[in-house]
Amino acid sequence: MFSIKFKTTDELPEPSPRLIDQIIGQDEALNIVLSAVKNKRHALLLGDPGVGKSMMVKAVGELIEKSSTDFKPYTILAKPNLKNPEKPIVELVEGHYEEKVEIIKPSMVRQPPSILTILIFMIAFTAITSYLMKGLPDSKVLGIIATVSIVAFALAFVIIFLTVFGATKGSMSNAVSPMDLKPVVLYECKKRPLVRASAYNVTKLLGDVKHCPLGGKPPLGTPPHKRIILGAIHEAHKGILYVDEIKTMPPEVQDYILTALQDKCLAISGRNPNSSGATVETNPIPCDFTLIMSGNMDDVNNLRAPLLDRIDYKIVLKNKMENTQENRDKLLQFIIQEIRNNNLHPMTYEACCEIVKIAQLLAGSKDRLTLRLRRLSNIIKMANDIAMGKNIKDIINEMSEEENIKKSETLPVNVDKDKLKSIMGVLNKITEKDKENKEEKEKTGITATDKTKYSKKEIKEKEKIYIDREHVLSVVNTGIYSMTKQVAIDYLRNFKRYKNIVPNDSPKVGVIYGLAVLGSDGIGDVTKIITQIVDSKNPGTHLLNITGDLAKHSITLASALSKKYVSEGKLPLKSEEEIDLNSKEIYIQFSQSYSKIDGDSATAAVCLSIISSLLKIPLKQDFAITGSLDLNGNILAIGGVNEKINAAKEYGFKRVIIPESNMIDVIDSEGITIIPAKTLEEIIPLVFENTSLKSN
């Protein structure tokens, strides 16, 4: 299986810590991405989920960070615009930026005088005025009193106004605080950046202006230049911008990205029209970046043509690789990486072989291995959890012990916690000693009382947990790594006992067993196909329980082909009576078919069933068949052949007939006889009763 021999993965060397060395099966795509990044070309990565698109970009980002010797750091500042506050100035400063720290002396705020001060001032003013007015004529005294009264009244009004409203020169609306004039550092880039952004989050991708409920005017509101949020498109300046999940990218966002690619700069404005930030717009901010986007194959239809034309490289990642020893070694490298990176238990050689077999099943062929490695990673992690051997009761007990420890930590001070804990420990040891011995013997073959007979090294080796083949098979058989597979398993579990399928029964006319695959992740099932021929003045073919246009066209083809074979009389079958096809009405039923049928893999089975009913010759019941027919009677390849073979095994059929071109895909042929077929004629002697065959 592998070029190196081992018992467990513990014996294998550590994987490379570099991400670039951990990418498996995508060498061609990786070379193109590296070339695109080096030459500052934009790229689009397309492929199935889990083939390594994000990991590839992350690995490239790791490389460019280490090769940033020619990169010049920069800082992006936001400054106020005194002439037009709603249009703040954003400036990019090359090189190392040092913020100038200015010591601002706090200005003394003038407070209104107190009432006592006013009274003292009034008494002093009255005394001085009385002294100065001694000896003056009465007419002048009255004029002076009137003038002083007016001045005193005006002064009192001003003092009262200041006292009530607290209005001072420093708090007037036209005053600007020195702190509001200070530039704000929006972003400081010290190495070549790799910025990842989601296509659906417009604010983080393009930037925004925060909302200010006070209108953004000093002294109460926040100045506009302090409310600017840089987008990932600006933070990726002189680096890489990676946009994932392009299917969720709105058309207007694509227009902004297209503008940034063309102009290499983009202004920021408020995204919410109901916010105070909607009136704020900056000057164009530099954003000269290399764009890398990724998505699934059908996501490319969501991209607008002008943006798609701007992307230089369109790279399709592979989802399968050839099943060679070199690639199996790469898959083994992936297993070691997952164990090391996720701190899992070691895996045995047999379990590693089973992972390779699962990779074949997911690829759908014996000579291919899947590159949807995220699914394999999930299976390895789940197998590790099963290897831990903890059931629901054990988990509940562990959680209860943790809760008891937390409660004991909150006991009153006068309770001796250490003493209480030791008592509880002794009681637990006494009550669970037998249980512990039993569990340890089941896991390691050593009880707690026998540990004294072994050395510490031997005990450690015996007690070590390994991920074995049974743990991997447990994950696969339960289907917990896939929702659709669990649904299919549940369907079979609920309806299989009700299906009237009797393998290896006596031969029957018009009854044959076809094979199908349920769910996108693949689980096989057997379908009973029944054909009845009725005399009628309006001949035709009627389909029962058939969904999907492809299936209907295929069954119509099978009906026409079977009529052709019967009318020509070239089949190696003996018919007891002549058949008038112009008066026959054909009914085809997929009996107890509760799932959707939309493929053409039952064409061969339907054709044989119709021929059996027309000629009234029974079919053997010890086989199941799958295959698609063309107009010449050739049997064409179908999908899901391994799942269909497994279904025939589970139902107990002795034989299964598949297209010859699918033999290269068969992974496990044990437990059933697999018959490859190229044409319909060569199947007929195998499926009809020998007594019905012509002597020649």
> Mapping DSSP to helix (H, G, I), strand (E, B) and coil, where does residue 623 land?
strand
Cα–Cα distances in angstroms (integers) from residue 546 to residues 519, 526, 602, in the given order: 17, 15, 11
Contact 102, 202 (CB under 8 A): no
End-to-end CA separation in angstroms for the chain? 48
Cβ count within 10 A of residue 152? 14
Distance CA(190)–CA(94), nearest Å, equals 11
- Which of these, 207, 177, 218, lies nearest to 78 by C-alpha position? 207
The token pair at 503 is 């393998």
**What DSSP string runs through 633-651?**
-BEEP-S-HHHHHHHHHHH
Active site residue 357: no
Phi and psi for 278 in degrees, rounded to 5?
A: -65, -25
The token pair at 204 is 């983080």
Cα–Cα distances in angstroms (integers) from residue 536 to residues 533, 585, 615, in the given order: 9, 6, 17
Contact 625, 656 (CB under 8 A): yes
Half-sphere exposure of 109 toward its Cβ, with a 13 Å CA cutoff? Answer: 9
Q: CA torsion sign, 10 to 11 to 17 to 20?
A: negative
Distance CA(339)–CA(348), nearest Å, equals 12
- Which one of the listed residues 377, 601, 612, 628 is annotated catalytic? 601
Place of tokens 């937390």: 406
Q: Is the peptide bond before 219 cis (omega within 30 degrees of 0)?
A: yes
Cβ count within 10 A of residue 492? 19
- Which of these, 484, 502, 480, lies nearest to 386 by C-alpha position? 480
Distance CA(69)–CA(261), nearest Å, equals 25
What type of residue sits at position 488?
A
Phi and psi for 686 in degrees, rounded to 5?
A: -90, -25
> Mapping DSSP to helix (H, G, I), strand (E, B) and coil, where does residue 491 land?
helix
The total number of residues written for the chain in this structure: 696
CB contact burial 299-327 (16+ within 10 A = b; e otherwise): bbeebeeebeeebebebebbbbbebeeeb
| Consecutive H or E run containing 515 | strand 511-518
What type of residue sits at position 434?
D
- Which one of the listed residues 204, 238, 584, 644 is annotated catalytic? 644
Active site residue 601: yes
Angle between helix axes 417-444 and 392-409 (nearest 10 degrees) is 160
Cα–Cα distances in angstroms (integers) from residue 194 to residues 205, 232, 243, 580, in the given order: 13, 10, 11, 75
385: exposed, middle or buried (Cβ count in 10 Å: 0-12, 13-18, 19+)? middle
279: exposed, middle or buried (Cβ count in 10 Å: 0-12, 13-18, 19+)? middle
Active site residues: 601, 644
